Amino acid sequence: MLRKSYTVKPLVAINGASMFGELAIVSCLEKDGWTACWVDTFHGRKFWHGMPHATQPLEPPAKVKALYNRIADRKGGPSGCFDIVASKGDRIIWLEYKGPKDTANRNELCWIEAALGAGVAESDLFFVGSDRRPEAVERTI
């Protein structure tokens, strides 16, 4: 059963499966050879590869977790962390998913500052948007 705090998140369909937009991005990155996960700081620093009601949180690669911790320590906590982290070889990228009418907030801007201070390149920080209307998103869970 999906926790109530997750049920307000809109779903998207990818390859016939309904999932959160963040996990759809994870799926696309993995098809391109990245190791990726959704960083769920709202529910306590959890990293997901699949829907929370169907999978267990995972432990990201050590170098990803170390960078995440460095940024969070520099910022003073994990709030504002970008939604997705992915690695391929030595590169680690961070992606923030924005649905319709969603805009950057102060915590995300502070996360960017902390990430840059921790050595993350500007070219490794992305905002990914969706123009899909929330009322058009399928709700099947």
Q: Average pLDDT of 39-58?
A: 83
Question: What is the per-residue pLDDT across 96-108, written as a single tens digit (0 to 9) for each?
Answer: 998 777 888 899 9
pTM of the model: 0.84
Beta strands in 1-141 (DSSP E): 11-14, 17-20, 35-40, 46-48, 84-88, 91-98, 125-129
Q: Residue 45's pLDDT band (boundaries 50, 70, 90)?
A: confident
- Domain boundaries in the chain? 4-136
Classify residue 140 by its DSSP letter: -
Q: Residue 31 above 90 pLDDT? A: yes
> What is 4-136's CATH topology?
Trna Endonuclease; Chain: A, domain 1 (3.40.1350)
Compute and round to an integer the Cα radius of gyration of the chain.
15
Closest CA to 119 of 91, 96, 97: 91
Closest CA to 61 of 42, 22, 27, 34: 34
